[in-house]
Amino acid sequence: EAQVTQNPRYLITVTGKKLTVTCSQNMNHEYMSWYRQDPGLGLRQIYYSMNVEVTDKGDVPEGYKVSRKEKRNFPLILESPSPNQTSLYFCASSFGGAKNIQYFGAGTRLSVL
Amino acid sequence: DQQVKQNSPSLSVQEGRISILNCDYTNSMFDYFLWYKKYPAEGPTFLISISSIKDKNEDGRFTVFLNKSAKHLSLHIVPSQPGDSAVYFCAAKEYGNKLVFGAGTILRVKS
């Protein structure tokens, strides 16, 4: 089954404790992206990757890191989480192209205390 | 400044009637517009799209209309069904691959 898998689905942590949210896709997509969803703001892009070893900042990259060492994986790293990073996070992948139809994971709800 | 705006946070319609979800944008360089649907505890899923050179695209019960001069698009669902109850996101694609999303509209279809 074609899918984007994120783990964990739910995470509660404390300020300053490094964490990683994993994302994996099995569709051989070149393009991958991380978004955060906040009430009234919709989905905002954090980072994206056009291919292996190619990453770039989205609209809200501060406090986040990513890496793309393999085509299928695109982990999101919060080195020193803060309460303002409490949010719902989505990973997405696509072939790119004219429409860039993106396929989303089920989401990771993060709470930083 | 939000380039894609969905000004109605929620919409409630009766089963069988038409649902109209609206979206406004400011960037005339967007070349594609997409609608995504999201159920609770799931990720958004692609619903329908329209190119900036078209004014209408239809797929079953779903039709998207684009008015470029007004920088406005709308999603029509006819007839609405209870299973259509979800959050609907409007998204616009810039040159390249970036998608810019609106804040979403919660649709409730009452049976």
pLDDT digits (tens, 9 = 90+) for B28-84: 999 999 999 999 999 999 999 999 999 999 999 999 999 999 999 999 999 999 999
Q: Pick from A36, A77, A72, A31: which is nearest to A54 by CA?
A: A31
Pairwise CB contact (< 8 Å): B97 & A96: yes
Give the phi and the psi of residue B59 in degrees, each rounded to 5: -150, 95
What is the pLDDT, as a whole number, of residue B64? Answer: 98
pLDDT at B96 over 80: no
Show residues of chain B in contact with A34, CB under 8 Å: none
Local confidence band at B97 (pLDDT 50, 70, 90 cut-offs): confident
Distance CA A89, CA A97 (A): 24
Q: Which of A4, A25, A100, A108 to mutate to test the interface with B (most CBs of B within 10 A)?
A: A100
Show residues of chain B in contact with A106, CB under 8 Å: 41-43
CA distance B103 to chain A (A): 4
Is A90 an 8 Å CB contact of chain B? yes
- Residues B3-16: what's their mean pLDDT? 96
Region at B3 (left for phi over 0; alpha for psi -120 to 50; beta for the rest)? alpha
Q: Which of B99, B100, B101, B106 to mutate to test the interface with A (most CBs of A within 10 A)?
A: B99
Is B70 an 8 Å CB contact of chain A? no
What is the pLDDT, as a whole number, of residue A26? Answer: 96
Mention every residue, 6+ apart, whose C-beta is less than 8 A from residue B13.
Answer: B19, B80, B107, B108, B109, B110
In angstroms, the first-to-last Cα distance of chain A is 36
Pairwise CB contact (< 8 Å): B32 & A58: no
Distance CA A42, CA A108 (A): 15
In angstroms, the first-to-last Cα distance of chain B is 38
CA distance A18 to chain B (A): 25
Distance of CA A31 to the CA centre of its chain: 12
Show residues of chain B in contact with A101, CB under 8 Å: 34, 46, 49
Distance CA A34, CA B9 (A): 24
Show residues of chain A in contact with B31, CB under 8 Å: 98
Mean predicted lDDT score pLDDT of chain A:
95
What is the pLDDT, as a whole number, of residue B43? Answer: 96
